[in-house]
Structure 1
Amino acid sequence: MAATIQHRIRGRPAHTPGPTFLTYTPDGRRLITAGSNNSVRVYTTGSDGEPTNVDDCQESNTAVVATDDFFITGSEDGTVSMYSLQSNTLEKMLLRCTLPIRDIALSPDGNWAAVASDELVVKVVNTQDMTRVLYLREQSKPVKHLSFDPSGTYIALSCSDGVIFVYSLSTEEPALVKKVDGLIRNLETDAEASSRVAWHPDGRAFAAPTPTKDIQVMSNSDWERQRAFSSGHAGDITAFAWSPNGALLASAGTDRKVLLWDCKTQRVIARFDYPNVMAIAWHPTQNLMSFTTSDGEVFMYNDIVPSEYMSLLKKGVQPAPFIHDPLAETLANGNSNGIGQKEGLRRRYGTPDSLDDILGSEGGGDEDDFIVDDDGAGYAERAEFPLKRPYDDYETEPAYAPLAKRTAYEHYRPRMHTPFQVGSTPWRGNRKYLCLNLIGFVWTVDQETHHTVTVEFYDRELHRDFHFTDPYRYDKACLNDNGALFSCSPTDGNPAMIFYRPHETWTTRADWRTTLPPQEHITAIALSDSYIFVSTTANYLRVYTLFGTPFRVFRQKSSPTVTCASWRDYVMTMGNGPVGGDGCTRLMYTIENVKRGEVCQSEDVVALPPNAELRSVFFSDRGDPCIYDSTGVLLVLLHWRTPGQAQWAPILDTKQLERLASGRKEETYWPVAVAADKFHCIILKGGDKYPYFPRPLLSEFDLKIPISSLPAATADDENSSANDGPRLEETFVRTSVELNLMEDLVNATAATHSQRTELARKEVDVDKALLQLLAIECRESEDKGMKALEIVELMRDQTGRMLEAAEKVAARFQRNMLAEKIRELAERRLAGLEDED
C-alpha cells in the first residue's frame, strides 16, 4: 500500500532559533523542551494552554531527559543540571565537564544519567548520589550520542570516528562488550546529522543510521545486521525513534521529510513535509508524536498514525525486525514454553525488556473474571512459570494478567523440549548452516527473494562441491556419502516439501521432490544409507526409500516430536513424554529397525540431568546411538539392540578436558560425530553457542570416561606413577564399554573377519589394563591383596595366559599368598571349561 501524505500542522514557538530538544516523561503527562535560550518549557499533554517556563537555566542546551519527578539538561558550558518537576526549580548541579555536553541518556529506572561531552571519557553519574560516578574510557574519540537498552544493562556510545561502543553496566566496573565498526558514519559531535543508536523496545536489537541514508537494525546477541529501513530518505537522517511498542519507526532527514515506517515490512506508511527536524519523541500511550526543529519550534502531532494503521500502535511489544527471528521460528514449531527457550523467551520474563505482550494467554477468562489482591494476601501474584502460546503473525493478546488482576483459574502447561534439526544452526543475520558433519557442510544465504545453497565436502576427490539457487527456501538438510537431503516449511499456501539429490547415479536424472499434506510442518529429517526419515508436527514419521518410494508412515507415541537420527536400517526418534517433578517433560526415544519392523527400544527415557538440554543426537561410525547435552557430556547407548536393556554411559565430559584445567580458557564444543574412538567437534570461543563463518575447523578429542577429577599432567610429571591408578581405572572402564558395544555388534550382525579380530583385541585390551592395575596394587602395599585378587577375577581371559601373567606379577613383587590365590583361580576356571566340554 502506498504511503499516505499527511497534512501539515503548525508548530509552537518554544525557543529562540537554534538546536532544540525534547522528551516525554514516562507517564506521558508532560513534554519538556530545551533549546538555545536559558528557559526550559514544560507542556501538559492534551492542553492547549501556555507551558510552564523554568527560567534561569543554562543557555545553549544540547540535551534533555526526564523521569516523572525530575528532568536533566546539559549545555555547551559543560554543566549538567537537575530540576524538580514538582517545584520547577533547580535541585542541584549534577555534573560539570570542561568541554561542551553533547548528549545525556537516562537509565530506565532513572537512577543513572550517562553524560557525553567533547571529552573522551563518558561519565555515568547516580542521580541520587552524585558522588557515585562510573567511567567509560575505551573510546579514543569524543562521543556524540548515548543510549541505554530497555533493561538498563547495556549502554551504546556513538563516537565521532564512526565506531559504536557497547558497555555492560551489570558489574561494579563497566565492561566493554562490543565494538561495532562500519555501521555509522564519521560525524563531528556538533553535526546536524545523527549517528544515534536506538534500542528496540523488545531489547534484542538496536538500529542506527548508515552512511547510505538507511536505518540498519543489528542484533545484540550475535551482532549481525538484520532488516534495514532503506530508500526512504534522500538526505542525511537527523532523528529517528521507535514507537513505544516497537511496531512503528519515525525518522526525519535533511530532505525535509518525516516518515513513518511499518517495522514488520520496513515500508513507509505515512510521509510529512517538515524541515530542520532535530529530535523526535513518541507519547508513551497515545497516538501522539512530537518533534522539534532547529528553528526553535515544537510540533505536537495528534493522530499522527493513519487510522488504517492504528491497529499497529495498539499491539503489545512487537519483535524487532530480524531477517530470521529465532524466537518466532521456535514458537512457529508449536511449542511456546519449551526448555530450549531459556536463553530467549523465558529469560525475559519479568525484565524491563520483557516480550510478555506479544505472547497470548491460553484459556484466559473474560475481563470480569479476575481476582483482585485487595487485602495484600499475595494470592494474586504471578505464577513462577507463566502461561504462553505461540503468537501468529504477532497478533495476539497480552500473555500475562496484571500483577493485581489475573484470571481466577489458569491451565497448567509443562515446559517442553523444542524441535531441532541435528547439525543445523540458527539464522545469524542472513545465513545459517543447514548441516555440519564429517562428510562436509551445507549452508544457505537469504537473498530476500530466494536462498542460495552451497554444499562443500572435505574429501573433494570423492565428491564435487555444488551450489544452487533455492526458490523453495530450504531450512533443513542432511548429507552423507550417497546424497544430500533438503526440506522446507509451508509458505504462501505451498505445502512442506523434501528434496533428495544423490551424488552419483547411472541414470541421467535421479533427484526427486515430494510434498507433504497441507498444514503439516517438518520438525526434523534424517538420511541413512537405506532410507529417508521425516518427522512432522502431526507426530508422523514418514519413511521413504532413497529414490522417493514411500515405505512406511506411523505415528510416534511421544509427542510433540523433537528430532530423529538414522543409521543404515535403524532410526531413533525422540519426543516429549510425561512430565517430571521439575515441571519439564521427559525426553523419550524409540529405536526401530525399519526394514525388519523390529522395535529395539520403545519409549525409553533419554538420560538428561536436571535442567539440561539435548544438543545433538547421532549414530557413531559403528552404529551406536550417541547424545550430547548442554552440560558438555557425551553419552553412548549400551545394549540398545536388546529390548529393555539399554543404558546411557558417559564417554566424555568436555568440562574435564586438560585444556580447560588451568581455568584460563573459556570455550564450549559443538558436537559433530563420534568416529574412530574419538569425539569430533567444533571449538566455540568467546561465548559463541553456534559455529559461524568463515567455515570452522574440526577438532577431535580422545574419549575419556569421567572416573575422577585428575589435574592435567605436565611435561615433568607425565610419566610419574601418581596418576597411574586413576588413569588405568579409566582405561579399564572405557575399554569395557567399547568391548560391550563391539560384542553387541558382532552378535547382532553378520560380522566380518576384521570385526571379530577387533573384538578379540578389545578383550585383550581390557585384560591388559587390569594387569597393569594389578602391578600397581602389588607395588604399593601388601594390605591390598584382596583388591588385587578382585582385579584378577575381573579378567575375561579364558585361556589362562593372562592369569598366568598375573601370577608372575604377584611373584615378582613377592606376594606369595596372592600368587597362590591366582593359581587356584586359574585351576577353577580351567576345570569349569573342561566341565563345559
Structure 2
Amino acid sequence: MSYDPMRPRGRPAHTPGTTVLAYTPDGKRIITAGSNSAIRIYTVDQDGEPKTVDDGLLDGHVGIGATNDVFIVGTEDGQVWPYDIASGKMGNQLVRCALPLRDIAVSQDGEWVAVASDELTVKLVKIDDQIQVKYLREQTTGSKHVTFDPTRRYVAVSAIDGILYVYSLSDEEPVLVSKLDGVIRKLDPGSEATSRAVWHPDGTAFAVAEATRDISIYSISEWKKEKTFAGGHTSDITAMSWAPNGTLLVSAGADGQIVLWETRTQKILQRFDFGNVINIAWHPTKNSLSFTTSDGELFIYDSFVPKDHEAQLQKPLQAAPIYPGPLSEIPNNAQRTLADRSREAPKRTFRAGSMDSLDDILGEDEDMADNFVEDDDGAGYVDDLNRYGKRPNGHLDDLDGPDSKRFYSGAVQPKAHPPIQPGSTPWAGSRRYLCLNLTGAVWTVDQETHHTVTVEFYDRELHRDFHFTDPYQYDKACLNDNGTLFSNSPSDGPATIFYRPHETWTTRADWRTQLPEGEGVRALALSESFIVAVTTKDYVRVYTLFGTPYRVYRQKSQAVTCAAWRDYIMTIGNGPVGPDGRYTTLRYTVENVKRDEICQNEDVVALPSEANLQSVFFSDTGDPCIYDSTGVLLVLQHWRTPGQARWVPLLDTKQLARLAGGRKEETYWPVAVAQEKFHCIILKGGDKNPYFPRPLLSEFDFQVPISAHSIKEPESEDSERNEGPKFEETFVRGNLLLSLFRDLLASTNATASQRSELARKELELDKTLLQMLAIECREGEERGMKALELVNMMTDRNGKMLEAAARVAQRYERGVLEDKIRDLAERRVMGIDDDDELA
C-alpha cells in the first residue's frame, strides 16, 4: 500500500492534454503550460490564485524551461518564445521550426535553449542573442527529447528511432561523442512514455527508461550501463527526476504509480498512487515535489519524502550511484579523499589561506616535519619543543640585518621537482589517463582488486581499440603507432615493464621484464626504435622494441622525466639549487642512443622561478619541446650541436587573443607539437586536468611573444595599426622554424622534397621581409636605414627578391634606398657580402 498521509489535491491548470512545468532556480515560482493558450505562474508557499499569462496567440505548449527572470515555452507548431516572469510580457521569438516541436531544455546557466523537433537537426539558441545558433546534425530521424547536463558540457538528444546521441559542447561547435543504440525505446513523437536522458546533478551520469520498464544509469566515462533501478513499474515510465542533491530518484508510470527510490542502493522507499502523471520536478531546496498530469492538473506535494527518509535531502550534493563513496571521489571536484590523494604526487597537506599552514610554520615541505614529537598525553609540552626536541629560540630578540642575509639555514631544504609522466593525469575518482597524445588515449579504472585498461585510437582504420584486465595495476603508459608500453610500481615485488606491439608477423611479440628489487619507474618513453625508463635509483634503462636490454647508466641528476624520438632520448633531472635557494634547477641531456653520441649534456632547462614543468615531448620533426606551468611552449634550438642549444618560446598561451580582455577563463593541457601547431586540450574554469570521457583536441598556431601588438587580434579590430609588429612576429617565427629545419637536413640525408621545402621556407621568409620593407618605405625617408637592414637579411642569392625589393623602394619614391638595394644585389651576384661597406 502507498504511504500518503497528506495527499495533495490537483489544481486545475489547463485543459486536458500535454501539461509541462518548471521551477525557477531560486524555487520561488512554478510555471506551467498546457494545451490551451494560458500559462500559469504559481508562487511557492502561497495558496492564492496563480498569475495567468494569456495572449490568445499560442497554444499547444509542449516544452518549458525557466531562469529566475525569464521562462521559455515551445509550442507544437514549432515556435519558441521567452517571457518576462515579473511582467508576463512576451519577448522576441527565439527560433521557429518548420516541423512540429517536441521538447525544449534550458541550460543550468540560463544562457542557451535547446530545441528538439521532428526536424533532423536540433538547434541550440543563445537566449539573449538569438542570432547565435548551434546545430546538432547527426540524427537521422526527428527527436523526442533534449537535455543539458548540469555543467553544460554535454547535451543528450533522444531520437524517435531509439538512438541516444550525446554531444560535447566544450568546443566552439558541438561534436558527437557517443551514439548509444538500444539504450532507449523507439517511441512515437506523441507518446506519453519517456525516453528522456535525465542527468544526475553531479553531471557524471544520466538515467533512462528502458523497454523493460526498468531505469538504468549510464556513466559518461565509458558510456555504458552501471546500475539499474528494477521492479518499480509494470507499465511505461512517463517521467523521472533526481532530487537536487542526487540522493533520491522519483519516477512515474502509466501504471498509476509514483515511485521514490534511494539512489545509492537502488531500493524503493515508497510508492504513491497518482494516475496520468507525465512531468515531474523537485523543488530546488525543499522537501516538495510538483507534477502535472495529462488531465491538465498540477499537484504540489509538500513533505513528499517521508520523515524517516527526509534526512537524505539534507545531505550535500552526492555522487552518482556509479561511484562508491562521497562526491569528493568523483571527477572534476576539487576535494579528494585520502585514498585518492595517496595516488597523487607530489604529496602535500596545507590549509589554504591559513596563517598556521605547515609551510608558514616550518618553512619547509611536509615530509621534513614527519619526525615531530607527538604530544601523546596531551600535556602540551610539545608546543615548546622544536623538531629536534629542543626549545626554539622564539624567546630571543630578532637578529639584525635583512632576511636575505639569513635565508640559508640548516632548517631550509630546497624543493625538488616531482617526477612527471608526459600525457598522464592524476586519479579522478576511480579513473585516470595513463597517456593522451595524437595517436590516442590509454586510461585505467581502479576496480579495487585489479585495474581495467582501455587503449583507444583516433585512427580506427589503422588500429583497433582494445581493453584488458590489469592485475599488475599499471600506473604509467606510452602509446605510438608501433605499440603500447606500460609499467607499474607495486608496493610488494619488483616493478614491471610491459610492451605490446600493435602488429606482428609472429604468434606473440609482447614482452614483460622486471626491474631489480627495490627499483621503481619514475617515467617512461617510447620511440620508433627504443624504450626508455628512468628509475628511482636514477638509472636510465634503454631497451629495444623487442625487449633486448640495450644500455643502462646512472643519470648525473635525480631523474624527473624522459622523452624519446627515433634514436634520440632526452632525460631530465633535478640539478643544483637555483639562485633563490628554494628550488632545484632542472638539467637535461639529449643523446643519440644508436650512435652513442651525447648532443647536450646536463644543460639547464629554462624555467622561470617557481614554475613547474608540465610536459616534455619531441615534435613530429624531432625537436625537443617543453610546456611549463606559466603557459609557455618552448622548443630546443640547435640541440644537435654540443654547447649550442637554447630554449626558444614558440607560444605564450596567456597572450592568446581569445583570452584578451578576460573574454574566457581557460587553461591548456599540452598534448603535442605537430604540423607547426600546438595541440592541446582546453580546460574551462578551474579544471586542471582532462576529464572523462576523452575530451576533444584543439590546436593553436605558433605565436612567438615579441610584443603586445604582435598578438593576433580578431579581424574586426584595427589590423593596420598592428601590421608591422605582426610581420615582425612572423619573421622571428619563420626564422626559428627555418633554423630548426636546416638543422634537421644537416643531420640527415635530405630528400628532394625536403630540399624543395627548404627553398619554400626561405622564400616565405624573404616575402615577410619584403612586406616589412613596404611598411618602412611607407613611413618615410627617415626609415631608410632600417629598410636597407631588412633587405640585407634576405636569404635570396639569385637576385629575384632583391629586385622585388628595389621595385618596392621605387614605388614609394625612395631613390637613395633603391640605389643601395641594387648595389647589394650586384654584390650578392658577385659573391661579395661586405656588410660593413653597405652600412
- TM-score > 0.5, shorter chain as reference: yes
- 1:76 is aligned to none
CA gap of 1:448–1:328, structure 2 versus 1, over 3 A, is: closer
- 1:223 is aligned to 333
Alignment of 1:400-419 (within 5 A): 410-419=410-419
Q: 1:577 & 1:606 partners in 2: Cα distance?
A: 10
Say if 2:598 is the partner of 1:599: yes
Task: Note the alpha carbon deviations across 1:758-816, whole angstroms, 9 max, x for none.
Answer: 11111111111001110111112111001101111111112222111111111111100
Matched residue SS, 2:831: helix
- 1:280 is aligned to none
For 2:397, the aligned partner's letter is: A
Say if 2:422 is the partner of 1:440: no
CA gap of 1:600–1:198, structure 2 versus 1, over 3 A, is: farther
For 2:572, the aligned partner's letter is: M
Is the 1:207–1:218 contact (alpha carbons within 8 Å) kept by the matching residues of 2?
A: no
Match 1:361 to one of 361, 365, 369: 369
Task: Note the alpha carbon deviations across 1:444-472, whole angstroms, 9 max, x for none.
Answer: 11111111111111111111111111111
CA gap of 1:328–1:377, structure 2 versus 1, over 3 A, is: farther
Cα drift, residue 830 of structure 1: 2.6
Is the 1:362–1:411 contact (alpha carbons within 8 Å) kept by the matching residues of 2?
A: no
Structure 1 stretches of 5 or more lacking a match?
1-97, 99-137, 140-161, 166-178, 200-205, 227-319, 388-408
CA gap of 1:348–1:466, structure 2 versus 1, over 3 A, is: farther
CA gap of 1:213–1:649, structure 2 versus 1, over 3 A, is: closer
Matched residue SS, 1:571: strand
For 2:369, the aligned partner's letter is: S
Cα drift, residue 656 of structure 1: 1.5
Q: 2:489 & 2:453 partners in 1: Cα distance?
A: 16
Q: 1:195 & 1:353 partners in 2: Cα distance?
A: 37
Q: 1:449 & 1:362 partners in 2: Cα distance?
A: 30
Q: 2:394 & 2:662 partners in 1: Cα distance?
A: 52
- 2:579 is aligned to 581
For 2:795, the aligned partner's letter is: R
Cα drift, residue 709 of structure 1: 1.4
Matched residue SS, 1:494: coil
Cα drift, residue 351 of structure 1: 4.8
CA gap of 1:194–1:703, structure 2 versus 1, over 3 A, is: same
For 1:597, the aligned partner's letter is: D
Cα drift, residue 371 of structure 1: 2.6
CA gap of 1:650–1:445, structure 2 versus 1, over 3 A, is: same
Say if 2:179 is the partner of 1:181: no
Q: 2:320 & 2:202 partners in 1: Cα distance?
A: 12
Is the 2:329–2:430 contact (alpha carbons within 8 Å) kept by the matching residues of 1?
A: no
Q: 2:690 & 2:390 partners in 1: Cα distance?
A: 47
Cα drift, residue 372 of structure 1: 4.2
CA gap of 1:352–1:801, structure 2 versus 1, over 3 A, is: closer
For 1:439, the aligned partner's letter is: T
- 1:449 is aligned to 449
Matched residue SS, 1:635: strand
Structure 2 stretches of 5 or more lacking a match?
1-44, 46-107, 110-199, 204-242, 249-261, 263-285, 288-302, 374-384, 835-839
Identity level (%): 58
Is the 2:420–2:561 contact (alpha carbons within 8 Å) kept by the matching residues of 1?
A: yes
Q: 1:437 & 1:211 partners in 2: Cα distance?
A: 31
Say if 2:671 is the partner of 1:672: yes
- 2:690 is aligned to 691
- 1:783 is aligned to 782
Task: Note the alpha carbon deviations across 1:214-258, whole angstroms, 9 max, x for none.
Answer: 9636259933897xxxxxxxxxxxxxxxxxxxxxxxxxxxxxxxx
Matched residue SS, 1:743: helix
Alignment of 1:212-291 (within 5 A): 216=326, 218-219=328-329, 222-223=332-333
Alignment of 1:336-351 (within 5 A): 345=350, 350-351=355-356
Q: 1:643 & 1:211 partners in 2: Cα distance?
A: 57
Say if 2:330 is the partner of 1:330: no
Cα drift, residue 496 of structure 1: 0.6
CA gap of 1:213–1:695, structure 2 versus 1, over 3 A, is: closer
For 2:560, the aligned partner's letter is: V
- 1:620 is aligned to 619
CA gap of 1:686–1:209, structure 2 versus 1, over 3 A, is: closer
Q: 1:817 & 1:488 partners in 2: Cα distance?
A: 71
Is the 1:679–1:701 contact (alpha carbons within 8 Å) kept by the matching residues of 2?
A: yes
TM-score, reference length from structure 1 = 0.58
Say if 2:469 is the partner of 1:469: yes
Cα drift, residue 353 of structure 1: 9.7
Cα drift, residue 211 of structure 1: 9.4
TM-score, reference length from structure 2 = 0.58
Cα drift, residue 350 of structure 1: 4.7
Matched residue SS, 1:726: helix
Task: Note the alpha carbon deviations across 1:14-48, whole angstroms, 9 max, x for none.
Answer: xxxxxxxxxxxxxxxxxxxxxxxxxxxxxxxxxxx
Is the 1:439–1:458 contact (alpha carbons within 8 Å) kept by the matching residues of 2?
A: yes
Q: Cα RMSD between the aligned structures?
A: 3.8
For 1:490, the aligned partner's letter is: P
CA gap of 1:603–1:374, structure 2 versus 1, over 3 A, is: closer
Alignment of 1:396-545 (within 5 A): 410-491=410-491, 493-545=492-544
Q: 2:583 & 2:392 partners in 1: Cα distance?
A: 30
Cα drift, residue 715 of structure 1: 4.0
Task: Note the alpha carbon deviations across 1:258-288, whole angstroms, 9 max, x for none.
Answer: xxxxxxxxxxxxxxxxxxxxxxxxxxxxxxx
Say if 2:554 is the partner of 1:555: yes
Q: 1:639 & 1:658 partners in 2: Cα distance?
A: 30
- 1:706 is aligned to 705
Q: 2:657 & 2:524 partners in 1: Cα distance?
A: 36
- 1:234 is aligned to none
- 2:397 is aligned to 377
Matched residue SS, 1:599: strand
CA gap of 1:197–1:515, structure 2 versus 1, over 3 A, is: farther
Q: 1:464 & 1:437 partners in 2: Cα distance?
A: 16
Q: 2:779 & 2:366 partners in 1: Cα distance?
A: 67
For 1:579, the aligned partner's letter is: V
Alignment of 1:621-640 (within 5 A): 621-640=620-639
For 1:729, the aligned partner's letter is: E
Matched residue SS, 2:369: coil
Is the 2:658–2:664 contact (alpha carbons within 8 Å) kept by the matching residues of 1?
A: yes
Matched residue SS, 1:181: coil
Is the 1:197–1:208 contact (alpha carbons within 8 Å) kept by the matching residues of 2?
A: no
Q: 1:783 & 1:570 partners in 2: Cα distance?
A: 50
Is the 2:319–2:330 contact (alpha carbons within 8 Å) kept by the matching residues of 1?
A: no
For 2:753, the aligned partner's letter is: S
For 2:783, the aligned partner's letter is: K
Alignment of 1:95-110 (within 5 A): none
For 1:536, the aligned partner's letter is: T
Is the 1:601–1:644 contact (alpha carbons within 8 Å) kept by the matching residues of 2?
A: yes
Q: 1:801 & 1:685 partners in 2: Cα distance?
A: 49
Is the 2:419–2:561 contact (alpha carbons within 8 Å) kept by the matching residues of 1?
A: yes
CA gap of 1:809–1:532, structure 2 versus 1, over 3 A, is: same
Is the 1:540–1:554 contact (alpha carbons within 8 Å) kept by the matching residues of 2?
A: yes
Q: 1:649 & 1:678 partners in 2: Cα distance?
A: 15
Alignment of 1:201-220 (within 5 A): 216=326, 218-219=328-329
Matched residue SS, 1:563: strand
Cα drift, residue 623 of structure 1: 0.3
Cα drift, residue 829 of structure 1: 2.4
Task: Note the alpha carbon deviations across 1:167-197, whole angstroms, 9 max, x for none.
Answer: xxxxxxxxxxxx9732476966994557489
Is the 2:350–2:357 contact (alpha carbons within 8 Å) kept by the matching residues of 1?
A: no
Is the 1:424–1:433 contact (alpha carbons within 8 Å) kept by the matching residues of 2?
A: yes
Say if 2:731 is the partner of 1:732: yes
Cα drift, residue 198 of structure 1: 12
Q: 1:505 & 1:686 partners in 2: Cα distance?
A: 44
Cα drift, residue 513 of structure 1: 0.5
- 1:658 is aligned to 657
Matched residue SS, 2:620: coil
Matched residue SS, 2:326: strand
